[in-house]
Structure formats: structure tokens, C-alpha cells
Structure 1
Amino acid sequence: MPDVGDLVTARLTVSPADATTQAALVVTLPDGSILTPVVTGTDNGAVWTAPVVYTMAGVWRLSWTVTGTGASVEHELVSVAPTPGVTTTRSYATTTDLANYLRAAPPVDAAHLLEGASRMLDARVLQYCRYDVTTDGLPSDAAVAAAIGRAVCAQVAWWGEVGDSVGAAGAGYGSVSIGSVSLGGSTSTSTDGAGSAARQIAPQVWDELRSPALHGLLVLGAVAVSW
């Protein structure tokens, strides 16, 4: 699977082919915009190539149109991955923070996990807390920022311990019937993964946010404490 930024050579083989064979390539980007790369033919019209640079993540469509001998239309879908390690949403901790917290090398998807943990704590803990923030909504006090960063790292470490970061282990599907076939669901009554350990707030999160050093700087709300 290519990543954003990769330069590839799109290739089409035509058979049969001769001097009348011509090919054109239209590339449709994930956002719907269109590119028409310069196409080069070799082997008397049997092989056609064009350079393509994948500039954004998503599904690209490469559409070849062949005229003359071997006339045809060919489509190829290419899934392009984001640049590895690039964060796209707010995170309260860096991969360096996580490495220092774990005292070990972080997983290669650490940036993604930290983003997920930050969103989870935002929704389930931090929105019920009181602390001073910057205009970007980030903690303005260095001690509070560091504690929240450690709490996010603690959540990621918890996911590593339970072997699940999305709650898939706790999601059930109930009973399903397809014609004469009946499938029994899992024993969990949850359909959103809430029964999974991955959807629990890690105990160490509370340890970080209840640190005496945060007295007067960060106040935990009653709802957050009861979770």
C-alpha cells in the first residue's frame, strides 16, 4: 500500500497492440479532483506508463482509455495511507512522552493511539474537570499539561496491557438469522464495546489527575470521578 508522498509509475499492458494503439490516463483523487498525467508508450503500443504522485490519503481511481488496436477501458482503485506518524487531531502527549512513560520504545502507531486516548479522556474525563486553558483549549499551566499528558500515556499503556484499543472485544452482535441459518450473538449485551476493558478509564489516569501537585490547579468533576 503506498503512502502519501509516494511517486509511482502507473503501468498498463495492452494486447493485442500495434502502431495504431494509443492510451490515456485519467486519475481521480479522493477529493474528486482530476489529473491527466503524461503517458508514454513503448513496445509498439503494448506498454504504457505514467508518473503519479499520491498527494493525499484515500482511495484513488486510475482510469486508462485505450483506442486503436486493443481498445478498452481499464480502472484501478488504489488505497493510499496517510504519512506514518503524522497527527491529525489534538493530542495531549507526544510519542516521546509515551516512550518516557513506558520506559520502552513506543509502538509504531503511537501517534494514532495518543490521539485516540486524548479524544477518549476529553469526552469522558476532561470535560468534567476545571482548569485554566489557552485560546486553543489546551492546559495553560505546565503542571496540569504534564499531568494530563501522563494520563493520556497511562490510557495507551492500559490498552497495551489489555490488547485492545477500540473496544472490539466487548462488542456483541446479538442473534442474526439469514434464511434458514441462525447465528447466536456473543454473551455481551453491549453493541458499542462498552463492556470491553479497552473502554474503561485506566486506573493510572486517576492517579495522575489526583496528584497533590495539582491541588487548586485541576478540579475533577463529580461525573468524571464516578466513571
Structure 2
Amino acid sequence: MPDVGDLVTARLTVDPADGTTNALLLVTRPDGTTVLPVVTGADGGATWTAPVTYTLAGLWRLTWTVTGTGAGVEHETVSVAPAPGPTAGVRVYATTTDLANYLRAAPPVDSEQLLEAASRMLDARVLRWCRYEVDTGGLPANPSVAAAIGRAVCAQVAWWDDVGDSRGAAGVGYGSVSIGSVNLGRSVTGVSGDDSAARQIAPQVWDELQDAALHDVLTIGGLSSGVCW
């Protein structure tokens, strides 16, 4: 599977073919725009090639139209992956170095995606309730808070590794969890992806956010970080 930025040579073989054979390539990008790359013929019209640069992630359609001997139309769909690396504009609270140090082991090869997913999850389900100073990029301004949230994100990634699931594909119900004065509960009947262990907040996340060093710099609803939820 190609990645965004890859330059490939699209190739078509025509049989039968002769001097009357000609080929045209229409490339349709995922956003619906099209391009006609320069096509080169060889082997007496039997082989046709064209350079294609994949500039967007998604599904690309390559349509070859052959005229003359061997006339016909051939379609090819190519799935293009995003360029490796974090998604632009997404807050990620920990680096792969942070994760390696937290795990005390080499991080998984998909660490960037996991750290991004964990950051999104904690943003939506934990950090939205927490109050702390942020910089212009929305990241914690206080070094102690930044370090604690980074460790919390790493803890979530480590939890996913422990349960063997980071997407909630394995539906595993749980009973109830208490964080301070808040009780969370789910029925174990009719288990869905949202009930899986992967969708739970890792217990270690709460340990990191309740660090004594965060007193008065990380709060929730006017309360201390000791009951952050």
C-alpha cells in the first residue's frame, strides 16, 4: 500500500497490440479532481507507463483507455495511506520517547498513532473536566501538569497493550468504578464496543493526575486534582 508522497509508475499491458494501439490514463484523486499524466508506450504498443504521485490519503482511481488494437477500458483502485507521523493540528501530550521511558522498553512501531488516540480519548473523557493553565496551542503551560498528563497518556497506551485492544473491538463489560465522589457504571449485559476494556480509562491515569505535585495547578470544578474526573 503506498503512502502519501509516494511517486509510482502506473503500468498497463495490452494484448493484442500493434502500431495502432494508443493508451490514455485518467487519474481521479480522492477529492474528485483529475489529472492526465504523461503516458509512454513501449514494446510496439504492448506496454504503457505513466508517473503518478499520490498527494492525498484515500482511494485513487486509475482509468486506462486504450484505442486501436486492444481497445478497451481498465480501472484500478489504489488505497493510499496517510504519511507516517502525527496528525497536524491534533494535541498530543506525549512523545514516543516519553512512552519508551514510561514503559522502560522499546515502544511499539505504531506508537505515534496510539499516543494520538490516547490524547484524544483523555481530552474527551478526562481533561475536559480538568482546569489548568494552557499555552497558545492548548497544551499545559505548567511543566508539572504537562509531565503528569504526558504520563497519563502513556499509561493509557500501556493499558491498551495490557488488554490487547486499543479500539474497543473486544466488548468486555465491567461493573462500576469510583473516582472520588463520582461513580461510573455499566451493565455487563448487551456488551458493545463502548463496554470493552479498551474504552475504560486506565487506573494508572488517575494515579498520575492525583500526584501531590499537582495541588493547586490542576483542578476540576473548583476542587483539587485529588478528585479529578
**TM superposition score normalised by structure 2:** 0.87
Instruction: Determine the structure 2 residue equivalent to 1:61.
Output: 61
Instruction: Determine the structure 1 residue equivalent to 2:120.
Output: 119
**What amino acid does structure 2 have at the position aligned with 1:90?**
R
Is the contact between residue 87 and residue 111 of structure 1 (CA under 8 Å) also seen in structure 2?
A: no
Is the partner of 2:41 in helix, strand or coil?
Answer: strand
Is the partner of 2:23 in helix, strand or coil?
Answer: strand
Is the contact between residue 27 and residue 60 of structure 2 (CA under 8 Å) also seen in structure 1?
A: yes
**Aligned-partner Cα distance in 2 for 1:105–1:226:** 31
Aligned residues: 211
**Aligned-partner Cα distance in 2 for 1:201–1:226:** 13
Cα gap change, 1:129 to 1:2, in 2 (>3 Å): same
Where do 1:85-124 residues align within 5 Å? 85-88=85-88, 89-124=90-125
**What amino acid does structure 1 have at the position aligned with 2:198?**
A
Instruction: Determine the structure 2 residue equivalent to 1:149.
Output: 150
Instruction: Determine the structure 1 residue equivalent to 2:3.
Output: 3
**What amino acid does structure 2 have at the position aligned with 1:23?**
A
Deviations 1:130-156 (A, max 9, x none): 111123221111110111011000000
Q: 1:85 Cα shift?
A: 2.8
**What amino acid does structure 2 have at the position aligned with 1:211?**
D
**Aligned-partner Cα distance in 1 for 2:146–2:132:** 10
**Aligned-partner Cα distance in 1 for 2:27–2:200:** 44
Structure 1: 5+ residue stretches without partners: 173-186
**What amino acid does structure 2 have at the position aligned with 1:97?**
D
Cα gap change, 1:52 to 1:171, in 2 (>3 Å): farther
- Residue 84 of structure 1 pairs with residue 92 of structure 2: no
Instruction: Determine the structure 1 residue equivalent to 2:15.
Output: 15
RMSD between superposed Cα atoms in Å: 1.9
Where do 1:1-227 residues align within 5 Å? 1-88=1-88, 89-170=90-171, 188-191=189-192, 193-221=193-221, 225=227
Is the partner of 2:153 in helix, strand or coil?
Answer: helix
Q: Percent identity?
A: 73
Q: 1:220 Cα shift?
A: 3.5
**What amino acid does structure 2 have at the position aligned with 1:165?**
S
Structure 2: 5+ residue stretches without partners: 174-187
**Aligned-partner Cα distance in 2 for 1:145–1:69:** 67
**Aligned-partner Cα distance in 1 for 2:191–2:228:** 20
**Aligned-partner Cα distance in 2 for 1:148–1:226:** 12
Is the contact between residue 91 and residue 114 of structure 1 (CA under 8 Å) also seen in structure 2?
A: yes
Is the partner of 2:87 in helix, strand or coil?
Answer: coil
Cα gap change, 1:49 to 1:188, in 2 (>3 Å): farther
Deviations 1:40-69 (A, max 9, x none): 001111110011111221111101110111
Is the contact between residue 6 and residue 54 of structure 1 (CA under 8 Å) also seen in structure 2?
A: yes
Is the contact between residue 165 and residue 198 of structure 1 (CA under 8 Å) also seen in structure 2?
A: yes
Following TM superposition, the consecutive aligned residue runs of length 4 or more in structure 1 with deviations greater than 6 angstroms are none
Is the contact between residue 148 and residue 209 of structure 2 (CA under 8 Å) also seen in structure 1?
A: yes
